[in-house]
């Protein structure tokens, strides 16, 4: 079994939700009872009606950019059920969402599959950092969980809001237990993108960025991403050589007065922008600048 905490790319729920994946090395499959425990509480669940395509990485996937197809790197996967199969798809298939999977904390797609025998496959021609998980592209290690995100093979688990931050355990008779710290990735807004900062003629620093939304991951020309939260709010942090500051914004724009900026010191500085959601904050978007 594996517990999977990912953004809500499957559109399952607007509540705190994780996914339960389960597989077996033997043929056939029957849903089985599972006990989910966290913070002294328990709830009963069952595995999905169909076996998950579940396994682990045999190699470590190298970091890559999330904007283009990664044609340089590959990762080797060992499936638990050696009779399951992974197949290649063309670029049209990738555009249609085929071969969508999770590896560690990164959502990705794979276009080229090379069978290596005994349930092992090499995955290449990758689309990286899907669903705003580009933060995880450089955090891979051998042994991390791989799971194909296929309908009917994953069981959603809806947990209470107060469970965020708790360690969640899944146990079932005759199956190794599994656990994960539940961060509520399905509730976390994606980090902002396209950060830019410009010093004005009067010395003020104007910072701009583009919002993304957990209610709409696709970029649609001419249409703004839906907000996906009760209200729009951001926290901006700037760290310079001589000081730091934080400020809040209610739109994708923040202006810092000249005198305040001067107090941060000259030279390298970093700008950190997070969108504040209803129940969680986004991961930071970080931009390096030089103050002069």
What is the H or E stretch that residue 261 is in? helix 258-262
Q: pLDDT at position 15, please?
A: 87
Kindly state whether residues 276 and 215 are assigned to the same domain: yes
Provide mean pLDDT across the span 254-266. Answer: 92
Same domain, 65 and 200: no
162 and 256 in a single domain? The answer is no
Residues 76 and 158 in one domain: yes
The answer on 168 and 227 residing in a single domain is no
Whether residue 37 sits in one domain with residue 131: yes
Whichever domain contains 207, its CATH number is 2.60.40.10
pLDDT tens, position by position, 165-218: 999 999 999 889 999 999 999 999 999 999 999 999 999 999 999 999 887 655
pLDDT at residue 229 in the model: 87
The pLDDT assigned to 217 comes to: 56
Domain boundary (124, 157, 187) is at 187
Check whether residue 21 and residue 147 sit in a common domain.
Answer: yes
Residue 49 has pLDDT above 60, yes or no: yes
Q: If you ran DSSP here, which 8-state letter would residue 128 be given?
A: E
Instruction: Please state the domain count of the chain.
Output: 2
Q: In this structure, are 223 and 182 located in the same domain?
A: no
Examine the domain organization and report whether 160 and 45 are in the same domain.
Answer: yes
Query: What is the model's pLDDT at position 28?
Result: 85
Q: Check whether residue 157 and residue 262 sit in a common domain.
A: no
CA-CA distance, 51 to 22, in Å (whole number)?
6
Give a three-class secondary structure readout of 8-75. Answer: CCCCCCCCCEEEEECCCCCCCCCCCEEEEEECCEEEEEECCCCCCCEEEECCCCCCCCCCCCECCCCE
Rounded (5°) CA angle 244-195-272: 30
Q: Which two tokens stand for residue 72?
A: 């340089």
The domain boundary, picked from 164, 187, 210, lies at: 187
Report whether pLDDT(18) > 60: yes
Tell whether 155 and 286 lie within a shared domain. no
Last residue of a domain, which of 165, 187, 209? 187
Please state, rounded to an integer, the average pLDDT across all residues of the chain.
Answer: 93
**What is the span of the domain harbouring residue 204?**
193-291
Task: Quote the pTM value.
Answer: 0.89
161 and 32 inside one domain? yes
């Amino acid at each position: 079994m594996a517990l999977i905490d990912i953004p809500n790319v499957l559109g399952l729920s607007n509540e705190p939700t994780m996914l339960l994946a389960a597989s077996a090395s033997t043929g056939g499959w029957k849903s089985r009872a599972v006990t989910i425990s966290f913070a002294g509480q328990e709830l009963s669940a069952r595995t999905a009606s169909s076996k998950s395509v579940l396994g682990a990485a045999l190699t470590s996937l190298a970091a890559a950019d999330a904007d283009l197809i990664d044609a340089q790197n590959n990762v080797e996967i060992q499936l638990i059920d050696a009779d399951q199969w992974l197949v290649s798809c063309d670029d049209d298939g990738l555009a249609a969402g085929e071969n969508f999977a999770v590896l560690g904390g990164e959502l990705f797609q794979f276009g080229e599959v090379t069978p290596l025998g005994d349930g092992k496959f090499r995955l290449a021609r990758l689309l990286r950092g899907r669903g705003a998980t580009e933060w995880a592209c450089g955090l891979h290690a051998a042994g991390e969980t791989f799971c194909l995100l296929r309908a009917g093979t994953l069981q959603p688990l809806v947990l209470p809001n107060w469970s965020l931050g708790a360690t969640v355990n899944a146990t079932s008779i005759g199956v190794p237990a599994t656990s994960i710290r539940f961060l509520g990735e399905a509730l976390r807004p994606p980090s902002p993108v396209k950060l830019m900062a410009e010093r004005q003629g009067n010395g003020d620093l104007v910072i701009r960025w583009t919002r993304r939304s957990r209610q709409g991951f696709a970029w649609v020309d001419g249409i703004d991403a839906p907000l996906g939260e009760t209200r729009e709010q951001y926290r901006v942090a700037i760290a310079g050589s001589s000081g730091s500051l934080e400020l809040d914004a209610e739109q994708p724009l923040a202006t810092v007065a000249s005198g305040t900026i001067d107090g941060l010191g000259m030279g390298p500085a970093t700008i950190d922008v997070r969108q504040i959601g209803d129940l969680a904050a986004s991961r930071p978007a970080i931009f390096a600048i030089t103050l002069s």
